[in-house]
Amino acid sequence: MKVTVYSCREFDEERIFRKYGEELGLELVLCPDAPEPGNLGLAEGSACVDILTSKMTRELLGGLRDRGVRYLVTRTIGYDHIDLEAAKEFGITVANAPYGPHGVADYAVMLILMSIRNAKRIIERTNIQDYSLKGIQGRELKDLTVGVIGTGRIGETVIRSLSGFGCRLVAYDLYEKEEVKKYAEYVTLAQMWKRADVVTLHAPLTEENYHMIGEESIARMKDGVVIVNTARGGLIDSQALIAGIEAGKIGAAGLDVVENEFGLYYYDRKSDVLDNRELAVLRGFPNVTVTHHMAFYTDDCVETVVRDSLTGCKLFLEGKENPWRVA
């Protein structure tokens, strides 16, 4: 039973892959690079392929199909980087490997706190021995209303954690959960824009919610609103976000994800001229904290993702029910 693993990180994933590969009786081909036309040959003879966030186009999926691949698992929760229509057409089953929600939820809470306390400015000043106070006064969560969009596994965990800070909590989702109602009030999006001092995003990116934070929604938000995104870059229109920050409408932002991050994140690109102007502008603002899609990155998440991605392959190969199948 052979599984080809792309984008396998030598410094943290390889050891865990070897451990679970042995436990599950799988023969692994470990490749440090993302799948591309030149290395698809490594998948020859593997029914299962294990990937990270690399864009899986029709061309790549067709190449995998030609080499006998029937199952593709992404070591992520989101799977919007995979052309699901093409996968279906080529008879490739797609699965994800969702780890526990706490790593991302903790990170979202951290970005909220960093944003309302001006942490970026404070750290920058301390680093250059500027110990002045002007311009870095913060706000307290107990005085604020936090709006949580998407109350699935991560959003609900964020709500539970934030409930300990004494802030008011409003929530929006397509489906309401009784458990969440103990801590937060479900509202419409229009009410959320009106009431929330902080908006934190925890919904997957879909055709319906692409750019849900844009010029129009920002105009309806409270002055000085803080926007935190640990979900997907495409939920926010970067141009509108930049305009909102420049106008002072948006008080701060914490962005673990941005539009068009493919090809940048998880690579050392410090010597390169990049073609993502929005990212450069956002990074330059003193009130915007940008991190490189790191929220998931904890010891627990990495172990769980590797284990479950391989367990899914094993179940598929044995023709058994697979809880991680998404398409």
Applying CB under 6 A, the span of 5-13, 26-34, 55-63, 290-298 interacting with ligand NAI comes to 290-298
In angstroms, what CA-CA distances link 307 with 7, 295, 300, 311, 325? 16, 19, 11, 6, 15
- C-beta of 44 vs 106, nearer to ligand NAI: 106
Query: Binding to ligand NAI (CB under 6 A): which residues in 155-174?
Result: 155, 172-174
Does 9 qualify as catalytic in the annotation?
no
Report if residue 151 touches ligand NAI, rule: CB under 6 A: yes
Closest distance of CB 254 from ligand NAI, Å: 11
- C-beta of 21 vs 254, nearer to ligand NAI: 254
Report if residue 200 touches ligand NAI, rule: CB under 6 A: no
Count of chain residues binding ligand NAI (CB under 6 A): 30
The values of phi and psi at residue 169, to 5°, are: -125, 125
Rounded Cα–Cα distance for residues 95 and 59 (Å):
19
- C-beta of 78 vs 263, nearer to ligand NAI: 78
Rounded Cα–Cα distance for residues 41 and 32 (Å):
14
Applying CB under 6 A, the span of 28-36, 46-54, 200-208, 269-277 interacting with ligand NAI comes to 200-208
In angstroms, what CA-CA distances link 226 with 107, 122, 208, 251, 323? 15, 17, 23, 6, 36
Of 295, 305, 313, 317, the one binding ligand NAI by CB under 6 A? 295
Does 232 qualify as catalytic in the annotation?
yes
CB 282 within 8 A of CB 229: no
294-311 per-residue burial string, b: 16 or more CB within 10 A, e: under 16? ebbbbeebbbbbbbbbbb
Applying CB under 6 A, the span of 41-49, 82-90, 201-209, 240-248 interacting with ligand NAI comes to 201-209
Report if residue 231 touches ligand NAI, rule: CB under 6 A: yes
Rounded Cα–Cα distance for residues 285 and 227 (Å):
14
Report if residue 74 touches ligand NAI, rule: CB under 6 A: no
Of 63, 150, 254, 312, the one binding ligand NAI by CB under 6 A? 150
Of 232, 237, 238, 308, the one binding ligand NAI by CB under 6 A? 232
Does 140 qualify as catalytic in the annotation?
no
Report if residue 256 touches ligand NAI, rule: CB under 6 A: yes
Report if residue 202 touches ligand NAI, rule: CB under 6 A: yes
Which residues are tagged catalytic? 232, 261, 293
